[in-house]
Structure 1
Amino acid sequence: MHTDLVAALDIGGTKIAGALVDDDGRILARAQRGTPARQDGETVMRAVAEVLGDLAGSPLWERAGSIGIGSAGPVDASAGTVSPVNVPGWRDFPLVDRVRTVTGGLPVELIGDGVAITAAEHWQGAARGHDNALCMVVSTGVGGGLVLGGRLHPGPTGNAGHIGHISVDLDGDPCPCGARGCVERIASGPNIARRALEQGWRPGPDGDAS
């Protein structure tokens, strides 16, 4: 049996996306659920398991030899745990062990989502051919990752380059992480919309303020 595919999970504060990906980075199967971010940790894990279940229903699943997870952070890649600021039900949640159990023991690799996008951009995208780069995720949260000297630099826990919780305004709005004036509190998608609404902006006819 060929195991030439990787099962990929992207876990964020708004959605949990999964895919089966080949060696060239082509997506061959997809699955997605909304993230029940305000519910308890087991409910969030059930959504992850549903995404994996959808992928496992593909005839391509038997070719998956491992699983890669890019999760909103902070993460602890060495311990296999996650504590996403925007998913309060997960604090030191043993995501690697739980995903390994759900998938029958497949090898699992965990990194922060900012590091994951940095790896992708350096391989196939805007950072290709560059020895040094900072790549950013701007979504429900703000994250980032680093390429230094031509190599991905995740740091010992997988959070290097995670700039979303650098405080840039010490008297700014409180952030769920406990600090004030974090980049994420100012520049994430929901916070851009929040600040615009506070300044009088109103959404268009579809009512979408996200």
Structure 2
Amino acid sequence: MRNDQGDLVAALDFGGTKIAGALVDAGGHLLARARRPTPATEDAATVMDAVAGVLAELGRSVHWSRVRAVGIGSAGPVDASRGTVSPVNVPGWRGFPLVAEVARAVGGLPVTLVGDGVAMTAAEHWRGAARGRANALCMVVSTGVGGGLVLGGRLNPGPTGNAGHIGHISVALDGDPCPCGGRGCVERLASGPNITRRALADGWRPEPGEEASAAAVAAAARAGDAIALASFARAAQALAAGIAATAALVEIEVAVIGGGVAQAGEVLFAPLRERLRDYAALSFTSAVEVLPARLGSDAGLVGAAAAAAERRGLWGPGAGR
């Protein structure tokens, strides 16, 4: 096992709007950064060219010689067992061999791929709200709803890198169809666009000149708008049901929630904690804590690095165990 504090990991955070990269050290510090917009509507080669451009920029850093591995947190679905990604919002990438392409671009360094929710989980377990917790669910509630699991003190990404994807647990058996092909999924009820969609359908309207968004619905809810409050309450109910189901399956002790929707604060967290009591009633589920995430927009990069470092025994919360 290596435990050289000078070792670095090159991290990539790939999404439908941006490709971020960084060199991350054993303290979770970002020593160099690079970023490009994702050419999401272009063909596979053009998208990969943008990824290669981020890596090339990182490669020009004076710190690159210390890089020992690469970690990727990607919008999904991902298949870590095959090293492929099929991001919903990047139609040119279907079963795209991202691990092999990145490995080629970085001269054969080992590459670890996880879903973006798992990357966020790795970050929050290593440096955030789940630090020191043996069993945790960490969630990203934003345009979609993703997540990841820490079990027995270690990140548990599952064989394909998608374990803990709470957004596609069905919590409304006769609910609306979800783009994933399921029905009544947590994401269909609790994501930012769906909070907004429901509020608009029930008669809420943004202020003049204001964009209709989950943030605008949250602002209206804080001002006491009944429709906005109801839309967040419904989202909170879906999240509570999903958290309770997860707790019953794997006995988590904490659920950490981040992402843009979590910025609503107590507009989301107060009804979520209240409804969790309705669903998590068993003795081994009733003590689950709900906490806001501590790491911000860098969580994907920090987590991708942590996942790769832990897997390679470099550093991280579970390295060397």
- Normalising by the smaller structure, the TM-score range is 0.7 to 0.9
Please give the alpha-carbon distance, in whole angstroms, between the structure 2 residues aligned to 1:100 and 1:203.
49
Report whether the alignment pairs 1:74 with 2:100.
Answer: no
> Deviations for 1:113-146, whole angstroms, at most 9, x for unmatched residues?
1111111111111111111100011233221111
| More displaced stretch, 196-205 vs 128-137 | 196-205
Alignment of 1:1-210 (within 5 A): 4-199=7-202, 200-202=204-206, 205=209, 207=211, 209=213
Structure 2: gaps of 5 or more residues? 215-321
Alignment size in residue pairs = 209
Structure 1: gaps of 5 or more residues? none
- Please identify which structure carries the higher helix content: 2
Please give the alpha-carbon distance, in whole angstroms, between the structure 2 residues aligned to 1:113 and 1:75.
9
Structure 2 vs 1, CA of residues 56 and 12 (structure 1 numbering), >3 Å: closer, same or farther? same
1:183 maps to a residue whose letter is V
Whose Rg is larger? 2
Q: TM-score, normalised by structure 1?
A: 0.87
Please give the alpha-carbon distance, in whole angstroms, between the structure 1 residues aligned to 2:174 and 2:38.
31
| More displaced stretch, 21-30 vs 164-173 | 164-173
Q: In percent, how many aligned pairs have the same letter?
A: 72
In the TM superposition, what is the alpha-carbon distance from 1:78 to its structure 2 partner? 1.5
Please give the alpha-carbon distance, in whole angstroms, between the structure 2 residues aligned to 1:107 and 1:86.
27
Q: TM-score, normalised by structure 2?
A: 0.59
| More displaced stretch, 69-78 vs 185-194 | 185-194
Name the SS of the counterpart of 1:7 in structure 2: strand
Q: What RMSD in Å do the two structures reach over aligned CA positions?
A: 2.3
Please give the alpha-carbon distance, in whole angstroms, between the structure 2 residues aligned to 1:123 and 1:176.
32
Name the SS of the counterpart of 1:30 in structure 2: strand
In the TM superposition, what is the alpha-carbon distance from 1:109 to its structure 2 partner? 0.8
Name the SS of the counterpart of 1:89 in structure 2: coil
1:169 maps to a residue whose letter is A
Contact 2:196 2:212 in 1 (8 A): no
Name the SS of the counterpart of 1:184 in structure 2: helix
In the TM superposition, what is the alpha-carbon distance from 1:169 to its structure 2 partner? 3.0
Contact 1:96 1:108 in 2 (8 A): yes
Please give the alpha-carbon distance, in whole angstroms, between the structure 2 residues aligned to 1:10 and 1:109.
12
Structure 2 vs 1, CA of residues 201 and 93 (structure 1 numbering), >3 Å: closer, same or farther? same
In the TM superposition, what is the alpha-carbon distance from 1:203 to its structure 2 partner? 5.8
Please give the alpha-carbon distance, in whole angstroms, between the structure 1 residues aligned to 2:130 and 2:56.
33
Counterpart position of 2:315:
none
In the TM superposition, what is the alpha-carbon distance from 1:189 to its structure 2 partner? 3.1
> Deviations for 1:127-177, whole angstroms, at most 9, x for unmatched residues?
111111000112332211111122221111111101122233344443332
> Deviations for 1:4-39, whole angstroms, at most 9, x for unmatched residues?
211001112232211110111101111122223333
- Please identify which structure carries the higher strand content: 1
2:205 maps to a residue whose letter is W
Please give the alpha-carbon distance, in whole angstroms, between the structure 1 residues aligned to 2:13 and 2:207.
28
Contact 1:12 1:140 in 2 (8 A): no
